[in-house]
Amino acid sequence: MRISRLVAAAAVAAMFSAGAAYAKTVKVGIVLPYTGGGADFAKQIEKGMKLYLSQNKDKLGGHEVELVTRDSKRPGGDIAKVAVQELITREKVDILGGFVYSPNAMSVAPLVTEAKVPMVIMNAGTSFIPAMSPYYARVSFTMWQSGYHMGKYAAEKLGYKTAMAGFTNYPPGKDSAAAFKRGFEDAGGKVQELIPMGGPREVPDFTPFFQKVKDAKPNALYMFVPAGSHASAVVKTYNDLGMRGAGIALIGPGDITQDTKLQGMGDGAQGLVTVHHYSADYDTPENKAFVKAWKAAYGADSTPDFMGVQGYDGMAAIVDVINKLNGEIDADKAMDILKGWKFASPRGPIMIDPQTRDIVQNEYVHKVTKQGDRLMIEVVATIPQVKDPCKELKVGKCK
């Protein structure tokens, strides 16, 4: 007995010393809009991924990660599709990740299913996306998590009776506006109109759209735009037209009060209420440690936003898969690990729903306040562990 144990121990030791020879390089194909209007989003996600990797090398079980990046440039889906084709056939990546824009995540679903490559979605928020391939898992958010709960909160807690919703006219925008309407009307409010306001590439002139809303005088205007410069333009137009003074509150998902754009929005942003899953201002030990590490890595002026944390958490999921599979990535086994995967994220506890492969997370009601000369996000309410309401309520393509 003793001897056989010793022999076993020696065998294990031999395996370990030979471990370097067995170390695998796991290729992770990353598709992000590195150039064009979404370049800041790509930088955030990549910084988040790299921060997690630099802090957690020990969790790779001696294996290496090679990030093979491709530029998806625009939201249209076409360039992302070519990129993924190349990553699968030429680069032979083991895992895919990234995807800021919904149409890009959607366009590659048949390729991913056919090639059986696990894909971790780090932004793209249209609710039904994970159902498009059994190899998709999402660590970011769904448009219905923020939109539906913003609608409910606006009617139940803010007391608004009427609202209009403006949205960037592509899948996540339509989804977000529909989610808001359902939440607001479930709680007794009335949405007078859903107004498409331009496409995701160029920032439109919001003035004529907002003027129409101002003339209709709803209690609130719910706005979804794809963060970044679109969000800055929304808040600017709202202020320029004096809509707050006209009694119309601006509300939306946290995409319109993104941490990295907030300070540039000026005092007019004070009082905005949004619902989202992350702000760098969250006062929790996990988030404070994350923001501190981010600033140490990228400079005191750099701030993570929701895309940064999604990159960080996405890489945490990928590293966990590599660890549990000891560097040998089998797609079905990887998906089994991702289903039910849990993580103490800087945004709070998160889980991938084993049934839908979609994120379950807290949604937070944000109010923009001012401390000293700095605008900041104050959390005024928390809706714990939200599953995608679109799937829970079996709406449209989420059925």
Between 107 and 123, CB nearer to ligand PHB = 123
Buried b (16+ CB within 10 A) or exposed e, 310-347: bbbbbbbbbbbbbbebebebebeebbebbeebebebbb
Q: How far is the CB of 101 from ligand PHB (least distance, A)?
A: 4
Q: Is 68 left (phi over 0), alpha (psi -120 to 50) or beta?
A: beta
What are the structure tokens assigned to 70, written together?
């491709």
Between 124 and 335, CB nearer to ligand PHB = 124
DSSP E strands: which ranges in the chain? 25-32, 64-71, 95-98, 119-121, 136-138, 162-167, 190-196, 220-224, 249-253, 273-276, 342-345, 348-352, 359-371, 374-386
Between 220 and 227, CB nearer to ligand PHB = 227
Between 19 and 396, CB nearer to ligand PHB = 396
Compute the half-sphere exposure of residue 233: CA atoms within 13 Å on the CB side of its CA. Answer: 19
Q: How far is the CB of 144 from ligand PHB (least distance, A)?
A: 12
Buried b (16+ CB within 10 A) or exposed e, 47-81: bbbbbbbebeeeebeebebebbebbbbbbbbebbb
Under the rule (CB under 6 A), what is the footprint of ligand PHB?
Answer: 100-102, 123-126, 172, 226-227, 255
Q: How far is the CB of 190 from ligand PHB (least distance, A)?
A: 26
Q: How far is the CB of 15 from ligand PHB (least distance, A)?
A: 44
Q: How far is the CB of 77 from ligand PHB (least distance, A)?
A: 11
Between 49 and 223, CB nearer to ligand PHB = 223
What are the structure tokens assigned to 113, written together?
């299913």
Q: How far is the CB of 397 from ligand PHB (least distance, A)?
A: 14
Q: Which long-range contacts (CB under 8 A, 24 or more apart) does 378-381 make?
A: 378/281, 379/279, 379/282, 379/283, 380/273, 381/153, 381/157
Between 84 and 227, CB nearer to ligand PHB = 227
Q: Is the Cβ–Cβ distance between 122 and 308 less than 8 Å?
A: no
d(CA 53, CA 158): 42
Between 100 and 220, CB nearer to ligand PHB = 100
* Angle, CA of 179, 221 and 270, to the nearest 5°: 115
Pick from 180, 172, 124: nearest CA to 307: 124
Between 255 and 363, CB nearer to ligand PHB = 255
Q: How far is the CB of 96 from ligand PHB (least distance, A)?
A: 16
Residue 359's DSSP bridge partners are 352
Q: Is the Cβ–Cβ distance between 201 and 171 less than 8 Å?
A: no
Q: How far is the CB of 214 from ligand PHB (least distance, A)?
A: 25
Between 172 and 346, CB nearer to ligand PHB = 172
Q: How far is the CB of 6 from ligand PHB (least distance, A)?
A: 57
End-to-end CA, the chain: 58
